């Protein structure tokens, strides 16, 4: 079952979504890479940050979403040095954009089932001493996800949602161990951000751009989707009440920075 990403909806909380990316890239110690690849670059706003971080590097953003790439090229394309290419991140190791000195994948791998199986190919496509930097959400036990799953399992919705894409990730230890087995020196950690959101139904607005989008798109327009959305909003308001600062959305993120070591 396919779905389409919407750059405008995704970028509604661009500042909050950028924080984990900036924290991730800050831990990448590669002074002068020649090629930096952003796997799952989305609308390109953060790929452009890579161009600022490494102004002499060739920067390549790869994404499978045509609307996202159109937004990236329109808003962030910078001549020959920063480019955006249509492609599946699973195929990158065999593309003309490999090898790379730095590979960044920010909030993308969680959409690839069995993505641990991709790591050997990605590591192999790094240059000697190249670095893989990954960030994935780790909040799938939170109400923003569990409420969606509970509603999706109800008979009135389940028939429409069979096979719908659902994001998944692993704990930092799992990534650390797998990448260490592949001959990498690994730094892995997690952080829980407290995003303060405002406006009507802000948590619903947040999930519409990411984790819940495939579910919502799979439901037919009209009473079925309206019923799902109405109940989802109501339960999210109860789970994330408005307080003195606004609505607080705790969001756990998992980070990994792995440097390929010379073969022994």
Q: What is the pLDDT of residue 68?
A: 87
Q: How high does pLDDT run on average in the chain?
A: 92
Strand locations in 74-198, DSSP E? 82-86, 100-106, 126-137, 184-197
Q: What percent of the chain has pLDDT over 90?
A: 83
pLDDT in tens, 215-231: 999 999 999 999 999 99
> Does any domain span residue 104?
yes
Q: 116-151 pLDDT, tens per residue?
A: 999 999 999 999 999 999 999 999 999 999 999 999
Please report whether residue 63 resides in a domain.
Answer: yes
If one counts the domains in the chain, the total is: 1
pLDDT computed for residue 263 by the predictor:
77
CATH of the domain at 218: 3.40.50.150
Quick one: pLDDT at residue 12?
A: 65
Cβ of 155: how many Cβ atoms within 10 Å? 6
Q: Is residue 43 part of a domain?
A: yes
H or E element in which residue 37 lies: strand 35-39
Reference 153, options 161, 142, 145, 144; nearest CA is 161
User: What pLDDT is stored for residue 179 in this prediction?
Assistant: 98
Q: Write the pLDDT tens digit of every residue in 72-122.
A: 998 887 666 899 999 999 999 999 999 999 999 999 999 999 999 999 999
Residue at 2 is within a domain = no
Q: In this structure, is residue 1 part of a structural domain?
A: no
Distance CA 129, CA 119 (A): 16
The share of the chain scoring above pLDDT 70, in percent, equals: 93
CB-CB contact of 173 with 255 (8 Å): no
Using the 8-state DSSP alphabet, how is residue 59 labeled? E
CA–CA distance, 147 with 194 (Å, rounded to integer): 19
Residue pLDDT, tens place only, 9-34: 555 667 888 899 999 999 999 999 99
pLDDT of 1 strictly over 50: no
pLDDT computed for residue 13 by the predictor: 65
Name the residue range of residue 187's domain: 7-260
Q: Check whether 47 has a pLDDT greater than 70.
A: yes
Is 0.75 topped by the overall pTM?
A: yes
In a domain, 117, yes or no: yes
Q: Are the beta carbons of 131 and 28 closer than 8 angstroms?
A: yes
Residue found by looking up tokens 């020959």 in the block:
80
Q: Is residue 84 part of a domain?
A: yes
């Amino acid at each position: 079952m396919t779905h389409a990403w919407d750059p405008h909806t995704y970028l509604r909380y661009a500042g909050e979504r950028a924080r984990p990316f900036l924290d991730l890239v800050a831990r990448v110690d590669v002074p002068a890479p020649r090629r930096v690849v952003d796997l799952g670059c989305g609308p390109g706003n953060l790929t452009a940050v890579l161009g600022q971080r490494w102004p002499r590097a060739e920067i390549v953003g790869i994404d499978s979403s045509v609307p996202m790439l159109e937004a990236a090229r329109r808003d962030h394309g910078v001549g020959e040095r920063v480019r955006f290419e249509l492609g599946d991140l699973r195929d990158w190791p065999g593309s003309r954009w490999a090898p790379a000195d730095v590979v960044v994948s920010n909030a993308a791998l969680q959409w690839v089932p069995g993505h641990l199986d991709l790591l050997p190919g990605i590591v192999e496509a790094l240059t000697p001493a190249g670095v893989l930097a990954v960030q994935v959400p780790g909040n799938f036990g939170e109400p923003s996800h569990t409420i969606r799953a509970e509603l999706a399992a109800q008979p009135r919705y389940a028939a429409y949602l069979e096979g719908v894409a659902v994001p998944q990730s692993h704990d930092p230890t799992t990534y650390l161990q797998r990448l260490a087995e592949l001959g990498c020196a690994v730094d892995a950690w997690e952080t829980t951000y407290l995003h303060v959101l405002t406006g009507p139904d802000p948590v619903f607005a947040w999930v519409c751009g990411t984790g819940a989008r495939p579910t919502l798109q799979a439901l037919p327009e009209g009473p079925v989707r309206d019923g799902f959305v109405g109940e989802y909003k109501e339960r999210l308001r109860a789970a994330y009440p408005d307080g003195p600062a606004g609505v607080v959305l705790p969001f756990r993120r998992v980070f990994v920075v792995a440097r390929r070591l010379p073969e022994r």
